[in-house]
Amino acid sequence: MTADRRFDILARIVEIANTSVDVDERLQGVMGVIHGYMEARQSVLFLQDKAKQNLVEAHAWPRAGQSCGMATAMGESLLGEVTIRRKPMALSGGDPTGDAIIDSLRRPDETALLLPVCGDSYVFGVLALILPEGSLATDERLRLLQAATREMAGAMRNDHLYMDAKKRIAELNAIKDLGLAAISTMEVDELLDTVAGTCAKLLGAKAGLIVVKGAGHVFSASYGPVPPECRGEDLCSMIDCNAPPSQLRPFFPACNGKGSQTTGRERLCMPLGFKGAFSGNLCVFEKVALAKGAAPGFNFEDQNLLGTLASMAAPALENAMTFHRLEDMVQRNEEMVSSLGTLHEISTSFLTTVDFDETVMIILHAVVHPAGLNYDHAVLFLADEPSNVVRAVADLDQASLRVQGELRQTLLALKEALPLPPVVSDPRFSGLSAPLAPADNPLARCLAQRKVLRLVRPDGNPNANNALPWASLPYSALAVPMIAKDKPVGVLVAANDGADKQIGEREEGAINMLANQAAQALETSRLYQNLENANRELAHMRGRLLEADRLAALGEIAAGVAHEIRNPLVSIGGFARRVRNKLGDESPLSRYLDVVIEEATRLERTLNEMLDFSTDSRDHHDEYDLGEIMDRSVELLQRDLDEKRIKVVRDYAADLPRVYCDERQIKHVFLNLYLNAVQAMDRGGTITLRTFTVIREAKKFVAGEVSDTGGGIPMDVIHNIFNPFFTTKDNGSGMGLSIVHKIVTRHLGGVEVHNREGEGASFLVTLPAAEEGRAYLK
């Protein structure tokens, strides 16, 4: 063959080797030129695998006759020997060579020419040409073939360099994108999504996952179909996340929840080397973008790349999560300042009042007001130590709240509004009480344990062992103990209706602080109320003592005067009656003697009343039914009632407690009241008698009321009716109501008048019930 022919062939090979088509197509084209040039029956290209341990069939010519899957170890065949020595080898026809691949390709009358495909510093494999006998290559041909195989090696080398460069550019672009994302956002979720997606795409994986733990939080993000068994918080638990970043190594986990390793390479994890208190993993799953000739699964290059990405992502994530923590702290601080401001306003309202009822209303409004603690419902239970129970005293819900602007204006408006006593409007709690011991109900447990108790779980079901009807409560509720000076004051129950208003730790802490303030305010109000009652009682007792002194002095004077006047008056009356009897009715002096006798009788009656007023007898006290005493007193005046056509109406309470009294004196009290009523109704009318029980200052009293329709008492004299000797009647002594007041006062009771000017008057006599009276009158 001429030099021009060899030059044309070589030029053709160089042209094919440097085209832009796929490297496999270029190799096939070069092999076709060589195959035709050498007039070979078959040409096969064997290339090294990634581990460079075996030679594997890669291409064959002609294509229709190629075989598949031939491979041989480097040190166990003639092909390996040519590769290692990098020198051509020609095997002439004849006996078998002992190399299974060569003997399978070559016929007995054919020559096998083995050419190393290599450059100066790298080798890729062997080109085997099966030639007819006698077609051994000359030196010129051999040099041409070596130049051709060099071009093939160069083409593969350039392709590898191109692919590596392309891969490195892609990696650099991904790293650049990751770096830009790290410096462009401080949102943890966004950064996690970017890292998971970038790593999965760059490593050619189907899915990516990143999990970070720390500061009580677990952050995670995924890309693609992450295996379900790898989504738990114990993902890749064999990684020592507390090791220094320089010692963290990737590994291939099984993700079976136990952190065991497998030999497979379908999953790759890299610990994130945080410097602070965070720890985490960056994982990819099932590599799908494989390089030509590469084994399936992730390799060590992927490990190194994942480590680089993890080392870049860790500081950015740590900064983002630190920023997230700072934002949380700032938000919590703002919420805390807001809560403290609200509690300060409420505390200021507590300081502006000592009224018990007003304090209760301030507590309820502070709990349900939107600018306060913003609960939907509030119920206040107070402890009753004498009865050893805790009972509902007031409730309020947000729906019935009259919002008066801001919280401070609302609480101030309570002081200016008409005084309305706290009431329980919700029928679920009306009259509801629970024993304080044993602690077998939520309210008692709350006070016994002195901690906040959740009455309803977040799923809306009541907690177990609830003795009270908490099943009817809204979505979630708290029972908050109210303790003052180490003494249980009550329980504040706050509740919300829906899942959108969950009660968290911050809300629980705020209402607990409010309950502590409220307990102190209620205890202060109670003490002030007790002090006011004591002052009132002292003032009342002082007045009674002054009156007693005045009446005692008056009684002594009256008794002395009565004794001095009584004897001569009896003589005057007696002699006047004797003279009247002797003169008879026909004497003109009889009418004058009648006047003397009548006036003497009136004076005797007045003296007897004065002596009764000055007498202090307690010799005949016992338990009596007040209604029976009132009835026996009415019987004494039955003739007068019939004459004046006065009707008596009785309204006596059933199961009325008995009173401890002197029956004679109490009959005298009601007799005087009946006489006044009869004298006020000259033209007939109605006397109404009522009995009932009343509670005053935690003591039980029995009340007897006498009402008439006699037109009432003039307002200008009503304040004097209990004074001795004051009367508006022409023939009255003015001692009747004074005696009534004194007798009732001796019995530790009270007399009240309720005047209806122009209609009538009612006198209310209250006497201690038997158990109270016995304690003080014995």
> What pLDDT score was predicted for residue 240?
45
Distance from C-alpha of 408 to C-alpha of 412, rounded to nearest angstrom: 6
Residue 471 has pLDDT above 50, yes or no: no
State mean pLDDT over 29-41. 85
Domain over 3-164 is classified CATH 3.30.450.40: yes
Give me the architecture of the 339-513 domain, per CATH.
2-Layer Sandwich (3.30)
Residue among 759, 767, 766, 762 at smallest CA distance from 688: 762
> What pLDDT score was predicted for residue 259?
40
> What pLDDT score was predicted for residue 232?
60
What is the pLDDT confidence band of residue 538, given thresholds at 50, 70 and 90?
confident
Q: How far, rounded to the nearest angstrom, does the alpha carbon of residue 445 sit from its chain's CA centroid?
A: 19
> What pLDDT score was predicted for residue 702?
93
Distance from C-alpha of 22 to C-alpha of 140, rounded to nearest angstrom: 30
> What pLDDT score was predicted for residue 343?
66
Higher pLDDT, 567 or 31: 31
pLDDT tens track for 497-512: 766 677 777 778 888 8
Residues of the chain with pLDDT > 70, as a percent, come to: 74
Alpha helices in 615-662 (DSSP H): 626-635, 638-643
State mean pLDDT over 623-642. 87
Strands 205-214 and 699-707: unpaired
Q: CA of 19: how far to CAs of 29, 149, 762, in Å? A: 10, 16, 126
Distance from C-alpha of 229 to C-alpha of 262, rounded to nearest angstrom: 15
pLDDT tens track for 38-71: 888 888 999 888 778 888 888 888 875 445 578 8
> What pLDDT score was predicted for residue 246?
47
Q: Where are the domains of the chain?
A: 3-164, 185-325, 339-513, 617-777
Cα angle 757-762-763, degrees, rounded to a multiple of 5: 130
- Written as one string, the DSSP assignment of 436-487 is SSS--SHHHHHHHHTS-EESB-TTSPBPTT--S-GGGS-SEEEEEEEEETTE
pLDDT tens track for 149-186: 888 888 888 888 887 777 777 766 666 666 666 656 65
| Domain 185-325: CATH superfamily, name plus number | GAF domain (3.30.450.40)
pLDDT tens track for 343-368: 666 777 666 777 788 888 888 877 87
DSSP lists the bridge partners of residue 492 as 380, 480
- The length of the chain in residues reads 778
pLDDT tens track for 546-575: 766 676 666 666 666 666 676 677 777 777
* Number of CB atoms found within 10 A of residue 428's CB: 14
> What pLDDT score was predicted for residue 691?
93
State mean pLDDT over 449-469. 61
> What pLDDT score was predicted for residue 363?
81
Cβ proximity of 280 and 213 under 8 Å? yes
Residue 410 has pLDDT above 80, yes or no: no
State mean pLDDT over 458-470. 49
State mean pLDDT over 439-462. 73
Question: Which of 47-61, 455-469, 584-598 is the least confident region?
Answer: 455-469
pLDDT tens track for 71-90: 888 888 888 888 888 889 88
Higher pLDDT, 5 or 216: 5
> What pLDDT score was predicted for residue 704?
93
10 Å CB burial of residue 300 (0-12, 13-18, 19+) is: exposed
> What pLDDT score was predicted for residue 238?
41
Higher pLDDT, 473 or 99: 99
- Which single residue is written with the structure tokens 């002054």? 546
What is the pLDDT confidence band of residue 680, given thresholds at 50, 70 and 90?
confident
Question: Which of 178-187, 521-530, 662-671, 704-713 is the least confident region?
Answer: 178-187
Distance from C-alpha of 327 to C-alpha of 329, rounded to nearest angstrom: 5
> What pLDDT score was predicted for residue 724?
62
Find the helix or strand (DSSP H, E) in which 305 lies: helix 300-351
State mean pLDDT over 195-202. 81
Residues of the chain with pLDDT > 90, as a percent, come to: 5
State mean pLDDT over 322-351. 69
Q: How far, rounded to the nearest angstrom, does the alpha carbon of residue 74 sit from its chain's CA centroid?
A: 73
pLDDT tens track for 741-750: 888 888 888 8
Helix axes 505-583, 590-614, angle to 10 degrees: 150
Distance from C-alpha of 216 to C-alpha of 278, rounded to nearest angstrom: 10
Cβ proximity of 494 and 478 under 8 Å? yes
> What pLDDT score was predicted for residue 617?
53
> What pLDDT score was predicted for residue 263?
41
On the question of a common fold for 185-325 and 617-777, the answer reads no
What is the pLDDT confidence band of residue 204, given thresholds at 50, 70 and 90?
confident
Distance from C-alpha of 54 to C-alpha of 125, rounded to nearest angstrom: 10
Cβ proximity of 147 and 12 under 8 Å? no
DSSP designation for 699: E
pLDDT tens track for 225-250: 888 777 665 545 444 444 444 444 55
> What pLDDT score was predicted for residue 247?
46
N- to C-terminal Cα distance for the chain?
A: 154
> What pLDDT score was predicted for residue 55?
87
Residue 613 has pLDDT above 60, yes or no: no
Cβ proximity of 200 and 310 under 8 Å? no
Can you name the CATH fold of 617-777? Heat Shock Protein 90 (3.30.565)
Residue among 636, 711, 712 at smallest CA distance from 668: 636
* Number of CB atoms found within 10 A of residue 95's CB: 7
Residue among 523, 528, 518, 525 at smallest CA distance from 347: 518
Regarding pTM above 0.75, the answer is no
Q: CA of 477: how far to CAs of 364, 453, 457, 511, 772, in Å? A: 15, 9, 8, 12, 42
